[in-house]
Amino acid sequence: MTVFRSIVFQLYFALMSVVMNIAWLPALLGPPRWTQRGVELWGRLTLWGLRVICGLTYEVRGREHLSATPALYAGKHLAMWDTVVVPVLLRDVALVLKRQLLFIPFYGWYASKSGMIAVDRGAHAKALRSLIAQGKDRLAKGRSIAIFPEGTRKKLGAELDYKPGVAALYTQLGVACIPFALNSGVFWTGPLRKPGTIVIEFLAPIPPGLKRPAFMTELTTRVETATARLVAEAGTR
């Protein structure tokens, strides 16, 4: 049944995405917020499909830690689900993504127009300067920034690989960092979408001002500890 539901969802997801991509094209001629609303709607329709077709819902914990002012959000990336839900929960957030994604038709157009932060990871120092410059620009516009510090999806239990970009943003932007953990990798595995409840948990903010090594230790410890707890919790349900 899980395989069948996953196939049906993929068909729904593909059709819905095509319709959304075409229907929202006029938004590219308007202000960025029009495109941002389209990104959020696409995310909500995806989450609806997961709930109705696959029996996969989600729970948000730690809402009290969400910031009323622009902040830096940094968390684990275990499945595509993470990139779907973050713009829905953190409205108008500027998500840090790989520059190569901007060359994907439709997706890249919308990501660019909505003000996502694109970084060429192969550019090293230049990439960090660009990341900081774009981060300052988005903060000045009243937007929060979300980043997956490891730069790509990681399998459960994979070796940690936190990149320097998150520390550069934290030290240069002077805002609090709100870590988040999740267990999406338990339910979204390869082509399968298993029934259950994904949990995303926002953790207590890390105040600005820590030195880079102390910040990275604090962020890694909080995110990995909470992620391990949520993954273990999902296994006992």
**Residues 151-164 pLDDT 10s:** 888 888 888 889 99
Q: Which helix (H) or strand (E) holds 50?
A: none
Q: Residue 47: which region, alpha, beta or left (left: phi > 0; alpha: psi -120 to 50)?
A: alpha
Q: Does domain 2-235 have CATH number 3.40.50?
A: no
Give the pLDDT confidence score for residue 162 in this predicted structure: 93
Q: What 3-state DSSP class applies to 116?
A: coil
**Residues 74-97 pLDDT 10s:** 999 999 999 999 999 998 999 999
Q: Confirm whether pTM is higher than 0.85.
A: yes
Q: Where exactly are the structural domains of the chain? A: 2-235
Which residues are within 8 A (CB) of 122 and not within 5 positions of it... i.e. 6 or more apart?
Answer: none
Tell the residue number behind the tokens 């003000």, with chain if given: 115
**Residues 1-28 pLDDT 10s:** 899 999 999 999 999 999 999 999 999 9
Give the pLDDT confidence score for residue 192 in this predicted structure: 94
Q: What 3-state DSSP class applies to 179?
A: strand
**Residues 39-79 pLDDT 10s:** 999 999 999 999 999 999 999 999 999 999 999 999 999 99
Q: Which helix (H) or strand (E) holds 189?
A: strand 188-189
pLDDT band of residue 34 (cuts 50, 70, 90) is very high
